[in-house]
Amino acid sequence: MSEKDRSVSDEEWAAFVEAAKRDGVGTGPVPKARKGRSSGRGDARPGRAEQPQPEGWRTGPAWGETNRRSGRGRRVKGVVGIAVAAGVLLVALRPQLVTDHLPEGLGGPGETTPLAAESARPTAAPSEEAFPDGPTLREPFRGSPALRWADGAAGIETPQARAVDWMSKDEVAAALKTAKDFLVAANLDPAVINGGRPTQALALLDPHQPDVRSGMEKGLARATEKNDPTLLFSRFAPAEAKLVGPVVKTRGRMTLEAGTGAYADHVVIHTDYTFVYPVVKVRPGADEVARTVVRRQITFALPDPGRYRATQGKLSLSRMNSSAGNDDCDRPKDGFFHPLFAEDLAASPGTEASGPASDPYDRSKDLTDLPQECGRLTRS
């Protein structure tokens, strides 16, 4: 079992931004795209600001952004939040340890009551108790805290809509629904999970941030350590693993607020969700079930179209952190998750991961607080 967190130093990021500017890449509060491509700005109203344009995909699995206000001719640093730990990769499960550390509420009838929706960040990880049996094809979530979590999209509940900043109550309700639609399309669409292209998710992003989408397209066409689509999309290599049954377990929360500082005149939607994927090898007769646990913290900053170039009804991505429990640390990045199975570890004894231990079900900590390296999972 292992975990991995990757980040980029401020010095490396500053050097990359300068290089991007020299190549003609536009600036803005979201990810970048191809170097050398114009950001395609249009005319801004007198005394109004342009929609911030993307700085670009940050070197390493982290994104950064800047804001550009044209009305007063000044440049403001944006929330550099997409940086810190985008791409925490918690990897490589050792199933032998799973049976020793399992959550409460799984010991017998009457203890699998669905949990209430998460209304705030938990103060601790789900408790553990002895549970000798692991997942099966019939019960892929057995032995996991996710057994009591909601199924798929039902676990993505939007907060009650209210007027915020420049948005009316109805506009906020529509934006929250779009944010949920994006999470569903990126993480719960069976075609995407089984290796397909996240077309619907990409279509929900604001076209006034062209470098965002082109950067994602670049990673989907040819993933690298620095441009890895699994930082945003849940995809398994279709020749290796496939989802067991139709259910992915989901837990988390969504909040909204008026933006401040560099994000004044924005409505900000924060999302923090964990998805649990039971998978089996793509091989006739394969019956060993492994689980990959993916957590994503994504922030959308929706600008006032009266002050910025923006498309109402679309999403502007401003911050993203991601973790994946049980994804092989040693595999080159190719845009897919590669879960490990007990038979893999049995075939290569002595290859168990070392490093700090993490519980992929622990939602009490921010992803930026997790270890910045490969490590061990306590369960999956």
Arithmetic mean of pLDDT, 332-350: 85
| Residue tagged 């279509």 (tokens) | 203
Amino acid at 198: P
The predicted pLDDT at position 350 comes to: 60
Confidence of residue 86 (pLDDT cuts 50, 70, 90): very low
The predicted pLDDT at position 2 comes to: 43
Q: What is the DSSP string of 245-280?
A: SS--EEEEEEEEEE--GGGTTEEEEEEEEEEEEEEE
Alpha carbon distance 174, 197 (integer Å): 25
Q: Is the pLDDT of residue 116 over 80?
A: yes
**SS3 (DSSP) at 39:** coil
Arithmetic mean of pLDDT, 18-39: 31
Q: Is the pLDDT of residue 14 over 90?
A: no
Q: Between these two residues, 331 and 204, which has the higher pLDDT value?
A: 204
36, 219 contact by CB (below 8 A): no
Confidence of residue 25 (pLDDT cuts 50, 70, 90): very low
Q: Give the rounded percent of residues in the chain with a pLDDT score beyond 70.
A: 68
Which pLDDT tens digit goes with each residue over 146-199?
A: 999 999 999 999 999 999 999 999 999 999 999 999 999 999 999 999 999 999
Length of the chain: 380
pTM of the predicted protein model:
0.73
Alpha carbon distance 108, 120 (integer Å): 28
Q: Is the pLDDT of residue 18 over 80?
A: no
Alpha carbon distance 380, 378 (integer Å): 7
300, 179 contact by CB (below 8 A): yes
Cα distances (Å, whole numbers) of residue 197 to 44, 192, 216: 34, 6, 11
Measured distance between the N- and C-terminal CA atoms of the chain, rounded to whole angstroms: 9
Alpha carbon distance 255, 239 (integer Å): 37
Arithmetic mean of pLDDT, 102-129: 67
